[in-house]
Amino acid sequence: MTVDTAGVDTMAGVAATSQEQALERRLVRRARAGDRQALRELIDLHKDRLFAFVRRMIRNHHDAEEVCQDTFLKAFAALDTYSTQYRFSTWLFTIGYRVCLNSMRRKRALTGEVDFAALPLHSEETPEKVAESEDASRMRQAVWEAVQRLTPPQRAAVVLYYRHEHSCLDIARVLQLPEATVKSHLHRARARLRDLLAPISETDLNVFRNRAGLAG
């Protein structure tokens, strides 16, 4: 007899999500009535995830924090327009994404060219001599620098999809785009990342994959 643990986990996950959504609805209701404590709880519940997303869109720490503040202020000013049919985080990310774009337009923050040739990862003489943490660190740096070179919608789609595990439908709501367009952005982002990271050798990739437990 086999136990459907996946089903149990799914049910537990669904129950946890429902509880979280119920808590959100209660907090929003109280916040609309002017309850400061509810506002603080909503902030504490979402600020880290929002910052993680914004930080990957805007690399400057101070600017990212400012964007987060503006996002919350706009969200609470327009709280009466929030519909509980969507998750509060989705709505918050929608506002955050637009505030990011406003910020980028103002500052014209273009990422510079990355000289992948200068990175030792693609060199065949150093992988065995470099410590594991440095190797992995350089790999991560290379990947994030490549992500920074994507267009904002592509970057947002990649970060929301992989980092925040949003579905394409949720990403479509955040970016206010059709779902098909989101899938197109993801597809083009992956192709672009493949091109940018092509100098990385298969050896380095396999070393990283083995150590990260991805091989198989």
How long is the chain? 216
Which region, judged by CB under 8 A, interacts with another protein, from 8-16, 20-28, 43-51, 124-132?
43-51
* Of the residues 102, 132, 169, 180, which one makes contact with another protein according to CB under 8 A: 102
* Rounded alpha-carbon distances, angstroms, from residue 85 to 44, 117, 138, 143: 22, 49, 42, 35
**Under rule CB under 8 A, residue 114 binds another protein:** no
Is position 193 an interface residue for another protein (rule: CB under 8 A)?
A: yes
Q: How many residues bind another protein (CB under 8 A)?
A: 66
Q: Is 36 in the site for another protein (CB under 8 A)?
A: yes
143-150: long-range contacts at Cβ-Cβ below 8 A with a sequence spacing of 24 or more? Answer: 143/193, 143/197, 144/56, 145/111, 145/114, 146/114, 146/192, 146/193, 146/196, 146/197, 147/56, 147/193, 148/59, 148/111, 149/111, 149/114, 149/192, 149/196, 150/189, 150/192, 150/193
Which residues are near another protein by CB under 8 A? 34, 36, 39-40, 43-44, 47-48, 51-52, 55-56, 61, 65-66, 68-70, 72-74, 76-78, 81, 95, 98-99, 101-102, 104-105, 108-110, 139-140, 143-144, 146-147, 151-153, 158-159, 162-163, 165, 176-177, 186-187, 190, 193-194, 197-198, 200, 202, 205-206, 208-209, 212, 214
